[in-house]
Amino acid sequence: MSTGIFFSIFLTIFVAELGDKTQIATLAISGTSQRPLAVFLGSSLALVMASLIGVLLGGSIAKFIPQLFIELAAAIGFMVIGLNLLISSSGNGRVTSSDK
């Protein structure tokens, strides 16, 4: 195992997951639960399984689609999400019946 890749992925995922909706949901559930160990184990297993699916699909997709196209699709996807967030936050944040 390459320690450089391991620590790079660990740091990237750790920072990306801080304060996201999964962490907020886990915080809310643990606040109402009397079983914090069960919440920790359940949320940990869910993150591990989601990562496993990503790794398996990523490895499979990379065999058929060139890396450049995968990176381009990811970049475009993140730009669309970012632009969508910028546009929605620049307004008053409320949706009216005329916006629908």
Model confidence band, residue 92 (pLDDT cutoffs 50, 70, 90) = low
- Report the pLDDT value the prediction gives residue 96, as an integer from 0 to 100: 53
What is the number of other CB atoms lying within 10 angstroms of the CB of residue 39? 19
Model confidence band, residue 94 (pLDDT cutoffs 50, 70, 90) = low
The Cα 46–Cα 48 span in angstroms is 5
Question: pLDDT over 70 for what percent of the chain?
Answer: 90
Domain ranges of the chain: 3-65
Whole-number average pLDDT of the chain:
85
The Cα 57–Cα 3 span in angstroms is 23
0.75 exceeded by the pTM? no
pLDDT tens digits for range 38-61: 999 999 999 999 999 988 988 888
